[in-house]
């Protein structure tokens, strides 16, 4: 087994220093650029954050490519403000970073919520899940217990048995060390609400009536709307995080047999932004952020060392798949994928049955991904899976079968040009045309495979959550990217309010299209992915309601995910 490759080499350190100088020159450039063009569409902070996503010299090429590919998410349109709305002060909060205040325009104010909304849930961690002991997973600031590296699959430090539902607490702990916190909400570019929305609902999803499921959400919005910070923008500068899929918070009726809470449908929550691990393509108040992986680096060097190691690995499998079939879902292509994998010499399969299985062992999964060129990521019970991020961390090129599995979800974190880092095989090619995955993947030229893998590896810092007990220096992790995107979104909204720039044509059910717009684009039209997001017709359509239906099965995911 390949061993961890250790510290960065000397020439690289020199190069890094040189690059640092280069970087500061850019800061000055943007500083002056900022002063002269505060009203331009691309907030300078954004250019900055994109530029600094990675300083690893090895990746410079990938990064500059990235910066063209990553359109600012702020292009998402917002509903028009009512004419009577008091204008948010565009003073301190929108002032750009400057020498006297490098945090200008980046301050975040964190609401001091009563502990029943967060800390009490962690203290009462036994109630968080019927299916597993979440107390284990809330340790180490939410990273869970450290993973031993006995098989040499991980590195000796920075690896944890992290639950896929732990983002609530990881994000909040990362926020505690955000460098631009303020106690003066009038300075803040955005307001963070440290409510553990995912933990809250997971206590009541099974066997509780709708009033029990909605109680904390109603309690929370009542608390928030009484605060002076709320009235500034009607909560539209507020954001919160739930490490679960959006369908757990979109209950359409008050029938107990319907799934989840109605948090995201509350009028107050429609003004806020909720960051979730899977967002709704048809709604504008939720945004997808990466699932947590097992890797939580404590410093930049650990990331560079890991990236170097993923570049050098020998990958003996053309493709691989870890997952279970979905015999209960007639539309699922998982059965066909497993069949194809089983009958191909080029495919490695980790089938997840019920009970003990290697598919639940982080080291078996990561070892398989590390020895594969491509990793298949079909939908599970909902569009997305944590596994997509595990494969990126392993330097394995993800293969997606539905644009809802990543491309319309993680628009803050993944490049717009999906063919630069992934392969897309539309589900119907498998379902209806019995396309051979092996043949498709063999057609990718080895040079392209190499370039794509380099892209995937360059994404690693952006999709992992750094260890909240430590701090990365130059790299931006998934938290940094999300907070910057939120700030950009609120800044754009404030500009639009100030300029009374109305967006009357905004159609919420086209949210996924707005999320894909680039630069100054504001209008959406027909899209090649329309068939993937058609509206509910006969109940068989690939729609939100079927996703919500699927969420009911999510307890199976939880059971399967015990480590």
**Residue 409 tokens, joined:** 């979800």
Q: Does 347 bind ligand NAG (CB under 6 A)?
A: no
Q: Using the rule CB under 6 A, which residue among 37, 40, 331, 419 binds ligand NAG?
A: 419
Q: What is the DSSP string of 248-312?
A: GG---SS-TTS-S--GGGSHHHHHSEEEEEE--TT-SSEEE-PPP-SB--SSHHHHHHHHHHHHH
Edge to edge, the sheet with strand 190-196 lists 181-182, 108-110, 190-196, 238-245, 273-278, 286-288
| Shortest Å distance, C-beta 204 to ligand NAG | 8
Nearer to ligand NAG, 22 or 206 (CB): 206
Q: Which is nearest to 393 in space by CA: 458, 302, 468, 321?
A: 458
Which residue of the chain is nearest ligand NAG when measured via CB? 234
Nearer to ligand NAG, 229 or 549 (CB): 229
Q: Does 198 bind ligand NAG (CB under 6 A)?
A: no
| Shortest Å distance, C-beta 233 to ligand NAG | 6
Residue 251-280 contact track with ligand NAG, rule CB under 6 A, x = bound: ----------------xx--x---------
Q: Does 103 bind ligand NAG (CB under 6 A)?
A: no
Q: Does 203 bind ligand NAG (CB under 6 A)?
A: no
Q: How far apart are CA 226 and CA 203, in angstroms?
A: 26
Nearer to ligand NAG, 233 or 487 (CB): 233
**Residue 232 tokens, joined:** 């500034």
Q: Does 398 bind ligand NAG (CB under 6 A)?
A: no
CA-CA-CA-CA dihedral for 48, 53, 55, 61, to nearest 10: -100
Residue 67-96 contact track with ligand NAG, rule CB under 6 A, x = bound: --------------xx--x-----------
Q: What is the DSSP string of 379-433?
A: --SSS--THHHHHHHTTPEEEESSGGGTTTT-TTTS-S-GGGT-EE--HHHHHTT
| Shortest Å distance, C-beta 343 to ligand NAG | 7
Q: Does 97 bind ligand NAG (CB under 6 A)?
A: no
Q: Are 215 and 117 in contact (CB under 8 A)?
A: no
| Shortest Å distance, C-beta 175 to ligand NAG | 11
Q: Does 108 bind ligand NAG (CB under 6 A)?
A: no
Q: How far apart are CA 397 and CA 484, in angstroms?
A: 26
Enumerate the H helices of 37-137 as residue ranges.
44-51, 60-69, 119-123, 134-137
Q: 424-443: which residues touch ligand NAG (CB under 6 A)?
A: 434, 436
Nearer to ligand NAG, 111 or 309 (CB): 111
Q: How far apart are CA 52 and CA 97, in angstroms?
A: 15
Interface residues toward ligand NAG, by CB under 6 A: 81-82, 85, 181-183, 208-209, 211-212, 225, 233-236, 267-268, 271, 417, 419-420, 434, 436
């Amino acid at each position: 087994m390949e061993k961890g490759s250790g510290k960065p080499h000397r020439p690289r350190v020199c190069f890094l220093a040189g690059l640092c100088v280069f970087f500061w020159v850019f800061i000055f450039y943007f500083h002056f650029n900022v002063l002269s063009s505060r009203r331009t569409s691309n907030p300078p902070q954004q250019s900055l954050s994109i530029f600094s996503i990675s300083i690893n010299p090895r990746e410079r090429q990938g990064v500059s490519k990235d910066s063209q590919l990553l359109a600012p998410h702020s292009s998402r349109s917002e509903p028009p403000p009512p004419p009577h709305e008091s204008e948010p002060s565009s003073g301190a909060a929108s002032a750009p970073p400057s020498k006297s205040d490098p945090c200008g325009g980046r301050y975040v104010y964190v609401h001091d919520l009563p502990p029943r909304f967060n800390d009490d849930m962690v203290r009462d961690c036994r109630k968080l899940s019927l299916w597993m002991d979440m107390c284990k997973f809330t340790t180490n600031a939410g990273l869970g217990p450290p993973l031993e590296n006995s098989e040499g699959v991980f590195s000796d430090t920075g690896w944890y048995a992290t639950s896929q539902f732990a983002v609530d607490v990881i994000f909040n702990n990362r926020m505690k060390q955000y460098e631009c916190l303020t106690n003066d909400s009038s300075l803040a570019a955005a307001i963070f609400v440290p409510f553990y929305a995912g933990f809250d609902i997971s206590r009541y999803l099974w066997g509780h009536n709708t009033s029990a499921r909605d109680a904390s959400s109603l309690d929370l919005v009542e608390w928030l709307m009484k605060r002076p910070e709320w009235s500034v923008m009607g909560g539209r500068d507020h954001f919160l995080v739930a490490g679960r899929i959006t369908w757990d918070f979109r209950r359409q009726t008050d029938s107990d047999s319907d799934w989840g809470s109605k948090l995201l449908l509350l009028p107050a929550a429609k003004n806020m932004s909720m960051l979730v691990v899977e967002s709704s393509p048809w709604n504008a108040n939720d945004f997808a952020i990466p699932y947590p992986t097992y890797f939580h680096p404590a410093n930049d060097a650990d990331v560079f060392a890991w990236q170097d190691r993923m570049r050098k690995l020998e990958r003996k499998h053309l493709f691989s798949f870890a997952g279970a079939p979905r015999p209960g879902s007639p539309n699922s292509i998982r059965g066909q994928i497993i069949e194809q994998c089983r009958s191909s010499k080029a495919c490695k399969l980790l089938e997840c049955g019920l009970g003990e299985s290697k598919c639940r062992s982080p080291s078996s999964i990561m070892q398989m991904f590390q020895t594969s060129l491509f990793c298949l990521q079909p939908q599970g019970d909902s569009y997305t899976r944590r596994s997509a991020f595990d494969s990126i961390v392993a330097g394995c090129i993800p293969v997606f079968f539905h644009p809802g599995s990543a491309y319309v979800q993680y628009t803050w974190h993944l490049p717009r040009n999906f063919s630069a880092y992934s392969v897309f095989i539309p589900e119907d090619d498998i379902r209806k045309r019995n396309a051979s995955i092996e043949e498709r993947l063999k057609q990718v030229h080895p040079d392209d495979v190499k370039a794509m893998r380099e892209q995937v590896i360059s994404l690693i810092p952006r999709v992992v959550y750094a260890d909240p007990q430590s701090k990365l220096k130059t790299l931006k992790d998934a938290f940094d990217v999300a907070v910057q995107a939120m700030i950009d979104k609120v800044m754009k909204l404030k500009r639009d309010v100030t300029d009374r720039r109305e967006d009357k044509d905004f159609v919420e059910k086209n949210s996924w299209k707005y999320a894909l717009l680039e630069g100054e684009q504001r209008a959406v039209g027909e899209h090649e992915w329309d068939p993937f997001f058609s509206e509910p017709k006969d109940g068989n359509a690939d729609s939100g309601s079927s996703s919500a239906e699927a969420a009911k099965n999510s307890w199976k995911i939880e059971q399967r995910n015990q480590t």
